[in-house]
Amino acid sequence: MTNNHRAKIDQKLSGYKKKYYLNQLLKGSIFSFTIVATAFLLFNTFEFTSRFDSTVRAVLFYGFIAILIGNFLYFILNPLLHLLGLRKPISDQEAAQNIGSFLPNIGDRLLNLIQLKGNYSGSNDLIKASIDQKENQLDQYDFQEAVPIKKNKQYLKYLYIPSVIIIAILLFVPQFFTESTKRIVRYDETFAPEALFDFNLKNQKLIAFRNEDFTVDLNISGKTVPAQVYLKTADRKFKLKQTSNTDFQYTFNKIQQNQEFQFEAAGFSSSVYKVKVVPRPKIKNFEVSLEYPAYLGRETDYIANTGNFEVPEGTKVKWSFLAPDTRSMEMHFQNEDTVYALNANKDGFELEKSLHISDRYEIKLENEYGKNNDPVIYQVNVIKDEYPKISLEQFQDTVLFNYIILGGNISDDHGLKYLSLKYRTNSKSSFKTHSLPIDRSKTTQGFYLNWPLDTLQLSSEEKMEYYLQVTDNDQINGPKSTKTGIYTFKVPTKDDLKEKLAEGSANNEKSIDKNIEQAKQVRNELKNIEQKLKSKKSLSWQDKQQIDDLIKKREELNNSLKELQEEHQKEVEKRNRFEEQKNESIKEKVAKLQELMDDLLDEETKKLYEELQQLMEEQAQDMDQIQDKLKEIEQKESNLEEELERTLELFKRMKFDFKADEITKQLQELEDEQSKLNEKTEEASKNELEEIAKEQEKLDQEFKDMEKDLNELQKINNDLKRPNALPDMAQEEQNIQKGQEQFQEAAEQKKKKQAQQSQQQISQNLQKMKQKMEQMQQSMEMQMVQENMNNLRHILNNLIHLSFNQEQVMKDFRKTRQSDPRFVNLSQEQIKIQNDSKIVQDSLKSLAERVFQISSFVTRELNDLNSHLDEASNYIKERKKGNALSEQQFAMTSMNNLALLLDDVLSQMQQQMSEMMGNSSGQQSNQPMPTPSLSQLQQQLNQKINDLKKSGKSGRQLSEEVAKLAQEQEEIRRALEEAEKKANGGGGKELKDAIEKMEETELDLVNKQLTNKMINRQEEIMTRLLESEKADREDRLDDEREGETAKNYDQQVPEAIEEYIRQKQKELERLKTIPLKLNPYYKKEVNQYFKRLENNNIR
């Protein structure tokens, strides 16, 4: 029993403790809720009535939180932990005291029991009995009654008061708590006092981008709208712009940082708002690398901070962007649908792309807040590889048709690869290609090509097409080419050539006439100036101006002469190019005429004009020198006028020779073609005669054209000062025309036999006409040469007589005093010499118009002779014996020079005559040789020398005879030299020895040394000549036995060497035209020097 009681007592104490803490929890809850409700009511009342600022509201908020937490911890959490046994409850003694104090019946008994149990050790029975007794006594009581739970109802009154107030306020004035509680809870916000209107911020997001404008949009709603609304920041206040009745606006310019603001109007303020400033995505800097196509040979370029650029097509472009605050970047090209997302890396963004077309592109940037505001747009211009360009200037050789000169410029924007010449000679064939060298490192360059056409071997009437093509080095689209237009080069037909030659010849003739008129004007004006200045002591301005005008006119004449020379040279070259000239005589005449034209421009005359100009520019003008210079110039101008007239006449004769030779060739061609047609007729059937008749008509037309040429030849002949005797071919022409008519009738009637007979008649008459033309040319040439030779001998004899006469008069003058009556007689003899010289001069000038071999130096020497004779006569009249003797000496020197020059011309003519006779003999073997051989001529000369030696003549008579013999010996020597030259030095030692001995004989004859030694030398010369002629006959017999003649091939000499040889030859000819006033010995040495020069040129 005792143990049961003891257990019950413990259970009752445990139950008491639980109820005790339950009571504490209930009471604490009432107190806690009362305090919290009271605080809530008070804090809201304070805020509702006072509208504290954020600081006070923060104190209220956190104070309320502190009260709430404190009450919970103290009044609720603490008893709850004890109740749950999580904390140590009150001790049994405290519980006994509380129970004893609340239940008087128990009093201290429960406390004593607990104390006894605490002191009882189990050995004292008395104490044990006392414990059992007390437990039995207390077992009847319920300890939980000592906890007054119902007593807590009295505390509910404290909770009722704030609760009722709160509920009432919530029912009737809910905003009392809602607004004040909201302001306390949101203590960090600003709450404006309640107004009659509301501030409604229209901006959904208060996010602005740095350094950009940010606009705040406000709407006012309510019963009234304030007239002015302000935006208030921490330190400033701004008035909003009213955009409508209820809308207002304010813009933060270039906002840089976060910004707090609130609205204020009519004493009311809105809540505080905060603008968050964020960075907009942007490009800080960027670089563009341009990797050009490899064929351009350009290094990679880099461009910084600009997206506008210009690149060649095919360039690989790489964009590299440094873009802070950027999450992604895109590039969009206007002409493409693809959007390129740039690759992001640690350094930024990159994109690589090859460009082929020009385009605009936009760069778009984006981050978590937005995209770039302003569009980033650039333009890239892609330069297409253009087609190459070519410009061409060309010159076609329309004279000789030997070459085409092509020149111009080629260019390309990036580089050139090829320049080609395309040509074809047949319109149906493909073009051939000839590559021209170019410099591929240059984009612009010139080109030049002198295109020789000899390798193409273009025949008459054949044409060639050609063009130039340039190709660039485009590796992107492939090489592109540009070509010029197609040009045509056409070789003229025979008729075209004939017409061009006739036109050129007519133009040259007009040019010579024009130059003669110009020369006359210059000479007349020169005479006027010379006459005008005779009485003047100084030059006036008008005189100088007149002389200047004269010099200008002379310069114009020089230009005209140069142009004449060039045009004539072109005509000669054109004839040589298209007409093979086999007539050696015509060839020689052409060459001589060209020399005459080349000599028209006299360097001495040019120098005289320059000296005249210098005299005019001198301060102290010497009128005597000026007049002497004008006189010298006047003499030169006289020479030019005469040379031009002579050139004109020789040109006309040359024109006659060409036309005659052309007609002869035409007759030969007509004869050949007629013979071929005759053979065709013989083989044809009667039905084919109609076809042959058409071919005959063509030949008939060609014959009519030839007849026009015959008429033209007649006109040219009539225009000559001494016309030639033309053959009468009227009968042959009538026979040919009759034969042509008879053939046509026979062909129509298909009478083959009669047609053949008519054609035979035509052929025979064509042959007769050709023979007459050939005979006319041969006989006319031989007759002319023979006549000219006779005239030249006569002139030469007269000139020698004049020279001897002048020498004698000069000797007599030296011995005669001025007071001697013989002085007058000698003056008359001098005048007679002067008159005789004019006869010689007139004869020589007339002969020069027919003989091409007479050089222009002869004409100039004649004028010098005439001038010296005039001066000598004038000095004799003035009794200036010394001056007269000097002029007489000069005159005699001119006579000797003329004699030497004419002697050389005579030798050339003799050689020409010898060749003509030889050719005539070869063509007509039944005719005897009309001229003796050189050995026969030498034999005759030897006989004359023997006769002269035995005659015993002396003095003047001996001098004349010796001079004639020396002249004849020189002619034979020159003919022998020419023969030896033609044999290319193959004449052997005999000829060379004979030539040297002949020169010694000439020297002895000039020195009048008729010795036995010279007679023996002449016999040796005869022996050498006979041996040479014998060897020549044996060689001809050997050649005849061979049966085949060796062919001569022209050696192709490089053009540069040919030009060098031509220049050297011109220099040699100029040397030869220098007047040599030398004695026979020095003349011999000079001639040998010329020979060596000629031999060197030949080699």
Question: CATH number, domain at 259?
Answer: 2.60.40.10
More confident: 1095 or 76: 76
Cross-strand partners of 447 = 408
Q: In Å, what is the CA distance from 1006 to each residue of 967, 1009, 1040? A: 10, 8, 44
pLDDT of residue 470: 95
pLDDT(1063) > 60: no
240 with 93, same domain?
no
Q: Are 270 and 263 in contact (CB under 8 A)?
A: yes
The two beta strands, 230-232 and 237-239, are: antiparallel
Taking residue 534's Cβ as centre, other Cβ atoms within 10 Å add up to: 8
Residue where a domain terminates, one of 247, 263, 278: 278
Q: Out of 380-394, 874-888, 1059-1073, pick the least confident.
A: 1059-1073
Tell me the C-alpha distance between 6 and 599, whole Å.
Answer: 176
More confident: 740 or 115: 740
Taking residue 999's Cβ as centre, other Cβ atoms within 10 Å add up to: 17
Residue where a domain terminates, one of 491, 507, 532: 491
- Would you place residue 121 in the very low, low, confident or very high pLDDT band (cuts 50, 70, 90)? low
More confident: 791 or 466: 466
More confident: 207 or 9: 207
- Would you place residue 120 in the very low, low, confident or very high pLDDT band (cuts 50, 70, 90)? low
Q: What is the mean pLDDT of residues 763-773?
A: 86
More confident: 368 or 581: 368
Q: What is the mean pLDDT of residues 918-942?
A: 54
pLDDT(1041) > 60: no
Per the structure, the count of domains in the chain is 7
Task: Specify if 893 maps to a domain.
Answer: no
Tell me the C-alpha distance between 469 and 434, whole Å.
Answer: 10
pLDDT of residue 1078: 44
- Would you place residue 929 in the very low, low, confident or very high pLDDT band (cuts 50, 70, 90)? very low
Task: Specify if 13 maps to a domain.
Answer: yes
Q: What is the mean pLDDT of residues 741-768?
A: 85
Q: In Å, what is the CA distance from 928 to each residue of 921, 922, 923, 931? A: 7, 10, 11, 9
Buried b (16+ CB within 10 A) or exposed e, 1060-1071: eeeeeeeeeeee
223 with 293, same domain?
no
Long-range contacts of 974-977 (CB under 8 A, 24+ apart): 974/904, 974/907, 974/908, 974/910, 974/911, 975/907, 975/910, 975/911, 975/914, 975/934, 976/934, 976/1025
Task: Specify if 833 maps to a domain.
Answer: no
Q: Please calculate the CA angle 252-254-258 and round it to the nearest 5 degrees.
A: 65
1022 with 1078, same domain?
no
Q: Are 41 and 160 in contact (CB under 8 A)?
A: no
pLDDT of residue 758: 86
- Would you place residue 982 in the very low, low, confident or very high pLDDT band (cuts 50, 70, 90)? low
Task: Specify if 231 maps to a domain.
Answer: yes
pLDDT of residue 126: 64
Q: What is the mean pLDDT of residues 923-944?
A: 58
Tell me the C-alpha distance between 105 and 1054, whole Å.
Answer: 165
pLDDT(586) > 80: no
Q: Are 499 and 446 in contact (CB under 8 A)?
A: no
Expressed as residue numbers, the domain containing 454 is: 392-491
Q: What is the mean pLDDT of residues 965-975?
A: 81
pLDDT(303) > 90: yes
Tell me the C-alpha distance between 69 and 963, whole Å.
Answer: 168
Quote the mean pLDDT of the chain.
Answer: 79
Q: Out of 203-207, 464-468, 902-906, pick the least confident.
A: 902-906
For the chain, how many residues are written?
1099
Greatest mean pLDDT among 156-170, 376-390, 550-564 lies in 376-390
More confident: 646 or 915: 646
1098 with 1036, same domain?
no
Taking residue 99's Cβ as centre, other Cβ atoms within 10 Å add up to: 26
pLDDT(669) > 80: yes
Tell me the C-alpha distance between 744 and 700, whole Å.
Answer: 11
pLDDT(1099) > 70: no
Task: Specify if 272 maps to a domain.
Answer: yes
Residues in contact with 532: Cβ distance below 8 Å, sequence separation at least 6, in sequence order: 543
pLDDT(595) > 60: yes
Q: Are 895 and 816 in contact (CB under 8 A)?
A: no
160 with 203, same domain?
no
Greatest mean pLDDT among 165-179, 478-492, 746-760, 1038-1052 lies in 478-492
Buried b (16+ CB within 10 A) or exposed e, 887-899: bbbbbbbbbbbbb
Tell me the C-alpha distance between 878 and 884, whole Å.
Answer: 9
Q: DSSP code of 899?
A: H
pLDDT of residue 1056: 40
29 with 163, same domain?
yes
Burial label, 213 (beta-carbon count in 10 A; 0-12, 13-18, 19+):
exposed
Cross-strand partners of 219 = 200, 247
Region of residue 325 (phi > 0: left; psi between -120 and 50: alpha; otherwise: beta): left
Q: Is the dihedral of CA 3, 5, 7, 10 positive or negative?
A: negative
- Would you place residue 781 in the very low, low, confident or very high pLDDT band (cuts 50, 70, 90)? low
Q: Are 258 and 270 in contact (CB under 8 A)?
A: no
pLDDT of residue 920: 46
359 with 432, same domain?
no
- Would you place residue 1084 in the very low, low, confident or very high pLDDT band (cuts 50, 70, 90)? very low
Q: Out of 470-484, 580-594, 595-609, 675-689, pick the least confident.
A: 580-594
pLDDT of residue 806: 83
Q: pLDDT tens-digit profile of 218-262?
A: 999 988 888 899 999 988 899 999 999 999 999 999 999 999 999
Residue where a domain terminates, one of 322, 355, 383: 383
pLDDT of residue 251: 93
- Would you place residue 817 in the very low, low, confident or very high pLDDT band (cuts 50, 70, 90)? confident
More confident: 1053 or 470: 470
Long-range contacts of 787-795 (CB under 8 A, 24+ apart): 788/847, 788/850, 788/851, 788/909, 789/906, 789/909, 789/910, 789/913, 791/843, 791/847, 792/847, 792/851, 792/902, 792/905, 792/906, 792/909, 793/906, 794/843, 795/840, 795/843, 795/844, 795/847, 795/902
- Would you place residue 377 in the very low, low, confident or very high pLDDT band (cuts 50, 70, 90)? very high
Cross-strand partners of 396 = 404
110 with 241, same domain?
no
The residue assigned the tokens 């964020």 is: 278
Q: What is the mean pLDDT of residues 702-728?
A: 85
Q: pLDDT tens-digit profile of 423-440?
A: 998 888 899 999 999 998
- Would you place residue 1074 in the very low, low, confident or very high pLDDT band (cuts 50, 70, 90)? very low
377 with 404, same domain?
no
Start-to-end Cα distance in the chain: 175
pLDDT(695) > 70: yes
pLDDT(323) > 50: yes
38 with 167, same domain?
yes
Tell me the C-alpha distance between 465 and 955, whole Å.
Answer: 79
pLDDT(700) > 70: yes
- Would you place residue 925 in the very low, low, confident or very high pLDDT band (cuts 50, 70, 90)? very low
Q: Are 648 and 510 in contact (CB under 8 A)?
A: no
pLDDT of residue 522: 84
Q: What percent of the chain has pLDDT over 90?
A: 14
Cross-strand partners of 317 = 290, 353
pLDDT(1083) > 50: no
pLDDT of residue 787: 65
Task: Specify if 462 maps to a domain.
Answer: yes
1034 with 963, same domain?
yes
Q: pLDDT tens-digit profile of 512-561?
A: 888 888 888 888 888 888 887 777 777 778 878 888 888 888 888 888 88
pLDDT of residue 1085: 47
Task: Specify if 1003 maps to a domain.
Answer: yes
Which residue, 305, 271, 252, is CA-closest to 200? Answer: 271
- Would you place residue 361 in the very low, low, confident or very high pLDDT band (cuts 50, 70, 90)? very high
Q: What is the mean pLDDT of residues 615-626?
A: 73
Task: Specify if 1018 maps to a domain.
Answer: yes
pLDDT(1058) > 50: no
Tell me the C-alpha distance between 35 and 76, whole Å.
Answer: 13
pLDDT(481) > 90: yes
Q: pLDDT tens-digit profile of 785-799?
A: 666 777 777 777 888
pLDDT(269) > 70: yes
398 with 291, same domain?
no
